[in-house]
Amino acid sequence: MLKALLLLALLPASLATVPRPRSAGLCAADSSPAQTRPRPRPHNYGARADSLNGIPGHAFGEPRSSFPQLEAKGYQDLDGYTYYDAKEGQETGWFGKNAGHVRTTYRFYQDKFASFDASAQGTDRPLLAEEAMYLFGKGLPEPPKNLAYGEAAVNWEGQRVRATLSDGHNECRLIIRSKLAATQKAATEAAQKKAEAAARAAKLRADNAPAAH
């Protein structure tokens, strides 16, 4: 069932072009010069993800104080993201209505909303896949070479947001990430490394300076 839903998300992009039969007579191809038509613009798979810029009701970049329904999970990952879960019975919107079938996790970077995960298992997987298709529309398939055996994934890559729906090992997972937060994080880390390198260089110069007589 879920694989069928993923195929629906990919169908417009995966249909093979059917060649038109050649017609003899007035419009025969060999009796008229080839016509060139402008190619259709590539589909913008991430347009709706960029427009939403988060999840319904909350945009990426909002401060932690805008999420009174959340409580900290008590840890921060190696990338500096702090994890939060919704308090029991206080999840909002579609995810609140389906809290018994879909689990959610919110991530914040420097106290600002930066990433959202939702997962469903077993027979609940199609429910999450349908919601992802409703939110983002047609997606771009992840090449099989990038996936483990038996897995499938669809991506929505925008200028501001990247969303991925993956299915495998009896679990469906939707990940929505702010690309702006990732860029800010990379800039912060680069500045920190530069400052650390400058501090090491200054210490090395001080250690190797000739002693005063």
pLDDT of residue 127: 96
Backbone angles phi, psi at 45, to 5 degrees: -65, -25
pLDDT of residue 62: 97
35 and 52 in contact (C-beta within 8 Å)? no
pLDDT of residue 3: 56
168 and 148 in contact (C-beta within 8 Å)? yes
pLDDT at 196 > cutoff 50: yes
If one compares 30 and 171, the residue with the highest pLDDT of the two is 171
154 and 163 in contact (C-beta within 8 Å)? no
> Average pLDDT over the chain, rounded to whole?
82
Q: What residue ranges do the domains of the chain occupy?
A: 2-10+43-179
* Single-letter amino acid code for the residue at 34: A
pLDDT at 191 > cutoff 90: no
70 and 87 in contact (C-beta within 8 Å)? yes
Helix (H) or strand (E) segment spanning residue 161: strand 161-168
Number of neighbouring beta carbons within 10 Å of residue 179? 18
Q: Is the model's pTM score more than 0.85? A: no
Q: What would the pLDDT profile of 124-156 be if each residue is shown by its tens digit?
A: 999 999 999 999 999 999 998 888 888 999 999
Q: What would the pLDDT profile of 71-115 be if each residue is shown by its tens digit?
A: 988 778 888 899 999 999 999 999 999 999 999 999 999 999 999
